[in-house]
Structure 1
Amino acid sequence: MRTTSIGALGAIGLAMAIASGNAAAAPINWDYTVTSSFVTMPGSTAFTGGAGCQSVSGSAITWGACPTGPAGPGRSGIGISNNPQTGTLATNGAAESANTYTHSNNVVSGAFATLRSATISATLGLRAAGTADAYVYETATYKILFAETPNSAGTCVANSPVGNPCNDIWVLDGSLNKSITLAGDEYFFSFFASPALATLPNAVCAAAGAANGCIGFTTVEGQENAVNFLLKVTSTPLVVEVPEPASIALLGVGLVGLAGMRRRRQTKA
């Protein structure tokens, strides 16, 4: 077994980590508000490829065919909604809703530039639940890497619907275990996608320019892909134990063996 950051796992692993690693901590309830935006400073958003019209604002990034405007035929984009989002959460408790990111995944001509990377700024405000206390705010930034895959059916690096163009690829970096101090105590907050967040295969990571073991999700061509982001606040950084690949393989063999024994027993019966 080896210990690694939750950044190597999907949402299922995250839930397991909270259940095991933080079970002893007393829950503290908070009112929260979270607002996210794309950073519009020069260099915060990068495009790759040829011509076209790119548009960047705090709430949306679009690219592809001209003129600029909402995503549509020949033009794709990603936008933020449910922004700001408010609610109540408990330290070391269940994840709660943050903002929603929707990728309008349309066919974009290979002659046009496409999104390559962007930076997100997320501001979290917390106060004791049910009080009129002032919110304590902390802003974190994290990066997304994007790969616009070929717009024709064929061999896809990411799992994609049969007969459909290849799914596009999104990788998240730096969205976990940010620190915030409340009443003299340090807490950690993390944003992650659900249910689409997963550890991506190495080939998929490489296609987006990311290192092996990256986390992210893929989106289907020709669809409005809404990815809901969740928020957790914990008293310690999220850490989990990840089985080595050999251990996972042995577990699989063991399960197959158990299934065979069960079939034999049923046959004898």
Structure 2
Amino acid sequence: MKTLKFASKTLVALALCAGFAQASPVVTQWSVTDTATFVPGSVLPGSNTFPFPVLSAGNTQLHWGNASPQSGLIISNSVVPIVVPTGVLTSTVQITHDNFPIPAATPSNSLSSVDILASITLQSLTPSVGGVEAGNIVFGVKFLETPNGGTGGVCADGALVGSGGVNTNGCADIFVISNNALNFPLFYDSDGAIGGIDPEPYFVSFFADGFGTLSNAACLSAGAAIGCRGFETAENQSTIADFKILITSTPFTDVPEPGTLPLMGAALAVLGWLTRRRASR
């Protein structure tokens, strides 16, 4: 049975010198499932009655605002396990924001914050030598539905109304996400036996494509700290953010793709997932 454990470099070195250690097979491909849902109790405002945010589709969709077209956040999960080659940034989940005008008389009907729960399983695919490990991550989201005309002709991100880019059709809405998910250590042990073959280290990191560091004004307007990361969504359009996973044999140091940023915050759940067996070993 496969287990996760931390190994002492000193003991490994001594074992190698003694000539009785054998390295685990190097994993070149993984089978990963990543199923994301909105956490019902985290939705604000929380009446779950339209035109306030309403959950549907197994907690993968949130809609609010006008009856048609509705504003909303939609999570798209893969229906089958995803093959993740070691060292290759691979898409797992997409989130779409449908940004449509909200009635002026009811601006408070808009979503203001929600948590996203990502349930992840990971298993060696090539070579196929182990069982399944599972864990959860919670991503906190702050969302600001901005007035299309801004305030005094200035949008919440500090840009002028109609100044171009995401503010061409009116002020863009602001989506901020927080989580830190870089280089969580995974020691893959193909036999799990004491005195057996030595595990190989891997590192798991999580990213979001389409995200960037937002302006100070955008962060503060959304109730986040300066330097926050997220994306802005143009009025009367749908914007897609792509979540990705990276599994490496050495710690991540460089952004693997332009425009892709590591998620920021405190992914304690992932750390617990990857190290929980340490005490039992």
Q: Which range, TM-score by smaller chain?
A: 0.5 to 0.7
Residue type of the alignment partner of 2:77: N
1:235 Cα deviation after fit: 5.2
Higher strand share: 1
Alignment correspondent of 2:119: 123
- Structure 1 segments of 4 or more deviating over 6 A? none
Residue type of the alignment partner of 2:134: Y
2:45 counterpart of 1:47: yes
**1:183 match: secondary structure:** strand
Query: Matched residues in 2 for 1:198 and 1:232: separation?
Result: 18
Query: Matched residues in 2 for 1:214 and 1:85: separation?
Result: 32
1:233 Cα deviation after fit: 2.4
**2:218 match: secondary structure:** helix
1:182 Cα deviation after fit: 5.0
Alignment correspondent of 1:263: none
2:170 counterpart of 1:170: no
Identity of aligned residues (%): 32
> Contact between 1:149 and 1:168, CA under 8 Å: does it hold in 2?
yes
> Contact between 2:101 and 2:235, CA under 8 Å: does it hold in 1?
yes
2:183 counterpart of 1:183: no
Match of 1:100 among 94, 102, 115: 94
Q: How does 1:89-238 map to 2 (within 5 A)?
A: 89-91=84-86, 93-112=87-106, 113-130=109-126, 131=128, 133-152=130-149, 154-158=153-157, 160-161=165-166, 163-174=168-179, 176-177=181-182, 179=184, 181=186, 183=188, 187-194=202-209, 196-234=210-248, 238=252
* TM-score (norm: length of structure 1): 0.66
1:176 Cα deviation after fit: 2.0
> Contact between 1:35 and 1:85, CA under 8 Å: does it hold in 2?
no
* TM-score (norm: length of structure 2): 0.63
> Contact between 2:55 and 2:62, CA under 8 Å: does it hold in 1?
yes
Query: Matched residues in 1 for 2:185 and 2:121: separation?
Result: 10
Query: Matched residues in 1 for 2:243 and 2:149: separation?
Result: 29
- Deviation sequence 1:204-237 (CA, Å, 0-9, x none): 1111110011111111110121222211224566
> Contact between 1:108 and 1:151, CA under 8 Å: does it hold in 2?
no
Higher helix share: 1
2:60 counterpart of 1:59: yes
1:85 Cα deviation after fit: 5.5
Residue type of the alignment partner of 1:61: L
- Of 184-193 and 221-230, deviating more is 184-193
> Contact between 1:85 and 1:97, CA under 8 Å: does it hold in 2?
no
- Of 174-183 and 216-225, deviating more is 174-183
**2:98 match: secondary structure:** strand
